[in-house]
Amino acid sequence: MGVVVLLVEIIWLGRGGQGGVTAANILVYAALREGLYGQGFPFFGAERRGAPVMAFSRISDRPILRHGMFSEADVLVVLDPKLPLIEATRRVLVRDRGVVVVNARDDEALDPRHYRLEGSAKFYAVDATRIALENKLVVAGWPVANTSMLGAFSRATGLVRIESVVEAIKEYFKGRIGEVNAKAALQAYNETKLVGEVARSVQVHG
Protein backbone atom coordinates (compact mmCIF):
# COMPACT_ATOMS: atom_id res chain seq x y z
CA MET A 1 0.00 0.00 0.00
CA GLY A 2 1.35 3.40 -0.88
CA VAL A 3 0.33 6.88 -1.82
CA VAL A 4 -2.37 6.97 -4.45
CA VAL A 5 -0.84 8.54 -7.51
CA LEU A 6 -3.96 8.64 -9.60
CA LEU A 7 -7.51 8.21 -8.39
CA VAL A 8 -10.33 9.57 -10.50
CA GLU A 9 -13.95 9.40 -9.39
CA ILE A 10 -16.66 9.48 -12.03
CA ILE A 11 -20.43 9.83 -11.73
CA TRP A 12 -22.70 8.70 -14.54
CA LEU A 13 -25.99 10.55 -14.28
CA GLY A 14 -28.81 9.20 -16.38
CA ARG A 15 -32.31 7.86 -16.13
CA GLY A 16 -33.08 4.38 -14.84
CA GLY A 17 -32.81 2.08 -17.87
CA GLN A 18 -30.45 4.32 -19.88
CA GLY A 19 -27.41 2.15 -19.29
CA GLY A 20 -25.36 4.25 -16.87
CA VAL A 21 -24.47 1.17 -14.84
CA THR A 22 -23.33 -0.65 -17.97
CA ALA A 23 -21.16 2.32 -18.92
CA ALA A 24 -19.68 2.41 -15.41
CA ASN A 25 -18.82 -1.28 -15.71
CA ILE A 26 -17.46 -1.14 -19.26
CA LEU A 27 -15.11 1.60 -18.11
CA VAL A 28 -13.56 -0.95 -15.72
CA TYR A 29 -12.89 -3.22 -18.71
CA ALA A 30 -11.32 -0.31 -20.61
CA ALA A 31 -9.20 0.72 -17.62
CA LEU A 32 -7.91 -2.81 -17.28
CA ARG A 33 -6.71 -2.59 -20.89
CA GLU A 34 -4.71 0.47 -19.86
CA GLY A 35 -3.16 -1.42 -16.95
CA LEU A 36 -5.30 0.54 -14.50
CA TYR A 37 -7.47 -0.61 -11.61
CA GLY A 38 -11.15 0.18 -11.90
CA GLN A 39 -14.38 0.02 -9.98
CA GLY A 40 -17.88 0.31 -11.43
CA PHE A 41 -21.16 0.08 -9.57
CA PRO A 42 -24.81 1.15 -9.56
CA PHE A 43 -26.61 3.30 -7.04
CA PHE A 44 -27.21 0.90 -4.15
CA GLY A 45 -30.79 -0.23 -3.83
CA ALA A 46 -33.76 -0.21 -6.15
CA GLU A 47 -33.99 2.00 -9.22
CA ARG A 48 -37.01 3.19 -11.17
CA ARG A 49 -37.04 3.26 -14.93
CA GLY A 50 -37.07 6.85 -16.08
CA ALA A 51 -36.12 8.44 -12.78
CA PRO A 52 -32.79 10.29 -12.45
CA VAL A 53 -30.21 7.81 -11.21
CA MET A 54 -26.46 7.68 -10.69
CA ALA A 55 -23.84 5.07 -11.38
CA PHE A 56 -20.25 5.30 -10.26
CA SER A 57 -16.74 4.50 -11.51
CA ARG A 58 -13.29 4.83 -10.04
CA ILE A 59 -10.00 4.54 -11.92
CA SER A 60 -6.60 4.30 -10.26
CA ASP A 61 -3.06 3.13 -10.89
CA ARG A 62 -3.14 1.40 -7.49
CA PRO A 63 -5.55 -1.15 -6.00
CA ILE A 64 -8.65 0.80 -5.03
CA LEU A 65 -9.25 0.59 -1.29
CA ARG A 66 -12.28 2.80 -0.87
CA HIS A 67 -15.75 1.51 -1.63
CA GLY A 68 -19.23 2.85 -1.74
CA MET A 69 -21.12 5.75 -3.22
CA PHE A 70 -19.89 9.32 -3.43
CA SER A 71 -21.42 12.66 -4.31
CA GLU A 72 -18.28 14.60 -5.28
CA ALA A 73 -16.73 13.70 -8.61
CA ASP A 74 -13.78 14.59 -10.82
CA VAL A 75 -15.83 13.73 -13.89
CA LEU A 76 -19.59 14.04 -14.33
CA VAL A 77 -21.11 12.32 -17.36
CA VAL A 78 -24.71 13.28 -18.15
CA LEU A 79 -26.54 10.73 -20.31
CA ASP A 80 -29.81 12.59 -20.67
CA PRO A 81 -29.93 16.19 -21.98
CA LYS A 82 -33.01 17.03 -19.92
CA LEU A 83 -31.45 16.22 -16.54
CA PRO A 84 -29.55 19.54 -16.23
CA LEU A 85 -32.82 21.40 -16.89
CA ILE A 86 -34.48 19.82 -13.87
CA GLU A 87 -31.31 20.49 -11.86
CA ALA A 88 -30.67 16.76 -11.25
CA THR A 89 -27.05 17.61 -12.09
CA ARG A 90 -26.83 19.74 -8.95
CA ARG A 91 -26.83 16.59 -6.81
CA VAL A 92 -23.18 16.19 -7.76
CA LEU A 93 -20.36 18.46 -6.69
CA VAL A 94 -17.89 18.62 -9.57
CA ARG A 95 -14.43 18.98 -8.04
CA ASP A 96 -12.03 21.75 -8.96
CA ARG A 97 -10.48 21.20 -12.40
CA GLY A 98 -13.36 18.85 -13.10
CA VAL A 99 -14.71 17.62 -16.39
CA VAL A 100 -18.38 17.61 -17.37
CA VAL A 101 -19.42 15.53 -20.38
CA VAL A 102 -22.98 16.04 -21.56
CA ASN A 103 -25.20 14.36 -24.10
CA ALA A 104 -26.52 17.62 -25.58
CA ARG A 105 -27.38 19.11 -28.92
CA ASP A 106 -27.83 22.70 -27.77
CA ASP A 107 -26.43 25.10 -25.19
CA GLU A 108 -29.24 24.96 -22.67
CA ALA A 109 -28.05 21.72 -21.06
CA LEU A 110 -24.55 23.15 -20.80
CA ASP A 111 -25.39 26.28 -18.79
CA PRO A 112 -22.95 26.14 -15.82
CA ARG A 113 -25.73 27.36 -13.53
CA HIS A 114 -27.28 23.90 -13.75
CA TYR A 115 -24.18 22.44 -12.09
CA ARG A 116 -22.45 22.63 -8.71
CA LEU A 117 -18.83 23.43 -9.38
CA GLU A 118 -16.14 23.53 -6.74
CA GLY A 119 -13.80 25.51 -8.97
CA SER A 120 -12.81 25.41 -12.59
CA ALA A 121 -14.40 22.95 -14.99
CA LYS A 122 -14.33 22.03 -18.65
CA PHE A 123 -17.56 21.24 -20.46
CA TYR A 124 -17.68 18.76 -23.33
CA ALA A 125 -20.72 17.99 -25.45
CA VAL A 126 -21.78 15.37 -27.94
CA ASP A 127 -25.17 14.61 -29.48
CA ALA A 128 -25.15 11.02 -28.28
CA THR A 129 -28.89 10.57 -28.74
CA ARG A 130 -28.57 11.25 -32.47
CA ILE A 131 -25.58 8.93 -32.72
CA ALA A 132 -27.54 6.20 -30.95
CA LEU A 133 -30.48 6.65 -33.32
CA GLU A 134 -28.22 6.69 -36.39
CA ASN A 135 -26.77 3.37 -35.26
CA LYS A 136 -30.22 1.98 -34.44
CA LEU A 137 -29.25 1.60 -30.82
CA VAL A 138 -32.80 1.65 -29.51
CA VAL A 139 -34.03 -0.56 -26.69
CA ALA A 140 -37.72 -0.63 -25.70
CA GLY A 141 -38.23 2.63 -27.59
CA TRP A 142 -35.33 4.48 -25.97
CA PRO A 143 -32.17 5.55 -27.74
CA VAL A 144 -29.29 4.04 -25.78
CA ALA A 145 -26.52 6.60 -25.49
CA ASN A 146 -24.33 4.93 -22.88
CA THR A 147 -21.68 3.50 -25.21
CA SER A 148 -21.52 6.79 -27.14
CA MET A 149 -20.90 8.56 -23.85
CA LEU A 150 -18.03 6.17 -23.16
CA GLY A 151 -16.44 7.40 -26.39
CA ALA A 152 -17.10 10.98 -25.31
CA PHE A 153 -15.56 10.22 -21.91
CA SER A 154 -12.40 8.99 -23.60
CA ARG A 155 -12.13 12.16 -25.70
CA ALA A 156 -12.89 14.54 -22.84
CA THR A 157 -10.64 13.02 -20.17
CA GLY A 158 -7.93 11.09 -22.03
CA LEU A 159 -7.94 8.66 -19.09
CA VAL A 160 -8.55 5.68 -21.36
CA ARG A 161 -7.72 5.55 -25.05
CA ILE A 162 -10.61 5.15 -27.51
CA GLU A 163 -9.01 1.90 -28.70
CA SER A 164 -9.42 0.50 -25.18
CA VAL A 165 -13.03 1.70 -25.02
CA VAL A 166 -13.81 0.07 -28.38
CA GLU A 167 -12.21 -3.22 -27.34
CA ALA A 168 -13.89 -3.12 -23.92
CA ILE A 169 -17.32 -2.66 -25.53
CA LYS A 170 -16.71 -5.60 -27.87
CA GLU A 171 -15.62 -7.70 -24.90
CA TYR A 172 -18.72 -6.74 -22.93
CA PHE A 173 -21.23 -7.17 -25.76
CA LYS A 174 -20.27 -10.11 -27.91
CA GLY A 175 -20.94 -10.22 -31.66
CA ARG A 176 -22.80 -7.72 -33.81
CA ILE A 177 -24.27 -5.73 -30.92
CA GLY A 178 -20.73 -5.15 -29.71
CA GLU A 179 -19.64 -3.96 -33.16
CA VAL A 180 -22.51 -1.47 -33.40
CA ASN A 181 -21.93 -0.08 -29.91
CA ALA A 182 -18.21 0.19 -30.54
CA LYS A 183 -18.91 2.10 -33.78
CA ALA A 184 -21.18 4.51 -31.90
CA ALA A 185 -18.48 5.05 -29.26
CA LEU A 186 -15.89 5.83 -31.93
CA GLN A 187 -18.28 8.19 -33.73
CA ALA A 188 -19.04 9.97 -30.44
CA TYR A 189 -15.33 10.21 -29.69
CA ASN A 190 -14.77 11.99 -32.98
CA GLU A 191 -17.73 14.36 -32.52
CA THR A 192 -17.10 15.32 -28.87
CA LYS A 193 -16.15 18.97 -28.53
CA LEU A 194 -14.93 21.24 -25.80
CA VAL A 195 -17.81 23.72 -25.61
CA GLY A 196 -17.08 25.74 -22.51
CA GLU A 197 -14.73 26.39 -19.71
CA VAL A 198 -15.48 27.83 -16.31
CA ALA A 199 -12.40 29.47 -14.88
CA ARG A 200 -13.53 29.50 -11.27
CA SER A 201 -16.53 28.68 -9.16
CA VAL A 202 -19.76 30.20 -10.39
CA GLN A 203 -21.78 28.71 -7.56
CA VAL A 204 -21.12 28.26 -3.89
CA HIS A 205 -21.70 24.73 -2.57
CA GLY A 206 -25.30 23.93 -1.94
Q: Which residues bind other proteins (CB under 8 A)?
A: 1, 3-4, 24-25, 28-29, 32, 35-42, 44-46, 62-70
Is residue 91 classed as helix, strand or coil in its secondary structure? helix
User: Toward other proteins, which CB reaches closer, 39 or 192?
Assistant: 39
Helix axis angle for 146-157 and 176-191, nearest 10°, is 40
Tell me the C-alpha distance between 152 and 60, whole Å. Answer: 20
Tell me the C-alpha distance between 164 and 30, whole Å. Answer: 5
Smallest separation (angstroms) from other proteins to the CB of 103: 22
Q: Residues of 188-199 as b/e, b for ≥16 C-beta within 10 angstroms?
A: bbebbeeebebe
User: Toward other proteins, which CB reaches closer, 131 or 168?
Assistant: 168
User: Toward other proteins, which CB reaches closer, 92 or 102?
Assistant: 92
Smallest separation (angstroms) from other proteins to the CB of 127: 28
User: Toward other proteins, which CB reaches closer, 61 or 108?
Assistant: 61
Smallest separation (angstroms) from other proteins to the CB of 9: 11
